[in-house]
């Protein structure tokens, strides 16, 4: 499918015929007056900001008549959203953009089914860790038009500061190599991450596995030479059956350490960290149109069965003549 930008007529058609204010998720509608809204009317970035809607009807009218190029709302809740003042709390957000996935196997210029599929896999892993390890449950996944937003609403985390958020980020993406040296009663022991089938070492093992299975000979990793990447690719089928010990032995322990260190620093780019750390971010409004690619920003009910090319394509795309 060709992801062409939407022209102003198509935008108007979408907001008048297809979009409904009911498509704006509950979690935004319920807190409407505490959020800041921002809009991009010309396709140059959201410069119409600090907007507040007193009720859902005003939002409906604005969207129908202005048919913005892009619409955003804040992840933060404010006492005075018009001034972005009186910060109360902010959703914890993770942004996985398909075009920025570090180990893209498709090599496309924008986004395509392959890298969007990869993004979906990454999102699934992140959500599993957020709910499994970190015990968070109020998690919404939104298709953003070029990737996915994970939006966590649990009260436990919405008042945390940027530093705590960055620690959560590093945990779920696996950006730190777990230590392998442990001691007990004065004796030192070595436990590699893949021998610990729970907690953070398990998260790290899963992310490393995902990365190695996506490796391509042309890819670059910090501190990892081409020969090592080729060797990792050569032996990676062992990881399909979780034969980590043999894989490490074949690669060599020191080279293995280099490989996982390179992957760890790469993992930090699985998500756009700035989005997670920023307590006053505005994020694309679910239900609105991503005019750059002519797709709907969509709240996902079931990630497994969600297909962006089925579920997030506005009607006007099918009516295009060219």
**Residues taking part in catalysis:** 95, 97, 272
Q: Measuring CA to CA, which residue among 314, 269, 305 is closest to residue 175?
A: 269
Q: Which stretch binds other proteins (CB under 8 A): 58-66, 115-123, 184-192, 230-238?
A: 184-192
Asked if 62 touches other proteins (CB under 8 A), the answer is no
Asked if 147 touches other proteins (CB under 8 A), the answer is yes
10 or 97: CB nearest other proteins: 97
Tokens 């499918």 identify what position?
1
Find the binder of other proteins among 52, 116, 168, 289 (CB under 8 A).
168
Asked if 278 touches other proteins (CB under 8 A), the answer is yes
Asked if 169 touches other proteins (CB under 8 A), the answer is yes
- Least distance between other proteins and beta carbon 273 (Å): 4
Asked if 152 touches other proteins (CB under 8 A), the answer is no
Find the binder of other proteins among 64, 230, 234, 280 (CB under 8 A).
280
- Least distance between other proteins and beta carbon 93 (Å): 10
Contacts of 218 (CB under 8 A, 6+ apart): none
Find the binder of other proteins among 143, 171, 247, 256 (CB under 8 A).
171
What the block records as the tokens of 164 is: 């705590």
Alpha carbon distance 179, 163 (integer Å): 22
What are the DSSP calls for 247-277, one per residue? HHHHH-HHHHHHHHHHHHHHHTTSS-HHHHH
What the block records as the tokens of 236 is: 């990676």
Alpha carbon distance 191, 188 (integer Å): 10
Site residues (vs other proteins, CB under 8 A): 38, 45-47, 49, 72, 74, 84, 95, 97, 132-136, 144-147, 156-157, 160-164, 166-171, 176, 178, 182-184, 189, 191, 195-200, 222, 265, 268-269, 272-274, 277-278, 280-284, 290
């Amino acid at each position: 499918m060709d992801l062409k930008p939407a022209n102003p007529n198509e935008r108007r058609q979408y907001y008048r015929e297809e979009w409904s204010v009911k498509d704006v998720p509950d979690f935004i509608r319920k807190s409407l007056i505490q959020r800041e809204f921002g809009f991009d009317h010309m396709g140059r970035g959201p410069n119409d900001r600090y907007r507040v809607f007193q009720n859902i009807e005003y939002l409906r009218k604005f969207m129908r008549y202005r048919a913005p190029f892009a619409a955003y709302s804040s992840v933060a809740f404010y006492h005075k959203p018009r001034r972005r003042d009186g910060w109360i709390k902010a959703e914890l957000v993770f942004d996985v953009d398909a075009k920025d996935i570090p180990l893209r196997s498709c090599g496309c210029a924008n986004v395509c089914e392959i890298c969007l599929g990869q993004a979906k896999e990454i999102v699934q892993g992140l959500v599993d860790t957020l709910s499994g390890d970190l015990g968070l449950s109020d998690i919404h996944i939104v298709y953003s038009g070029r990737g996915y937003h994970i939006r966590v609403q649990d009260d436990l985390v919405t008042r945390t500061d940027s530093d705590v958020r960055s620690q959560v980020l590093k945990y779920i993406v696996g950006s730190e190599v777990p230590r392998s040296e442990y001691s007990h009663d004065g004796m030192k022991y070595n436990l590699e991450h893949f021998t610990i089938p729970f907690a953070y070492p398990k998260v790290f093992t899963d992310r490393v596995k995902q990365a190695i299975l996506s490796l391509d000979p042309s890819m670059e990793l910090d501190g990892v030479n081409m020969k090592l990447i080729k060797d990792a690719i050569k032996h990676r089928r062992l990881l399909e059956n979780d034969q980590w010990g043999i894989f490490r032995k074949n690669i060599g322990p020191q080279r293995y350490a280099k490989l996982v260190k390179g992957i760890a620093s790469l993992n930090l780019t699985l998500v756009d960290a700035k989005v997670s750390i920023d307590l006053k971010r505005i994020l694309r409004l679910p239900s609105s149109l991503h005019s750059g690619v002519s797709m709907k920003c969509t709240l996902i009910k079931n990630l497994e069965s969600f297909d962006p090319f089925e579920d997030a394509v506005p009607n006007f795309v099918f009516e295009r003549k060219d």
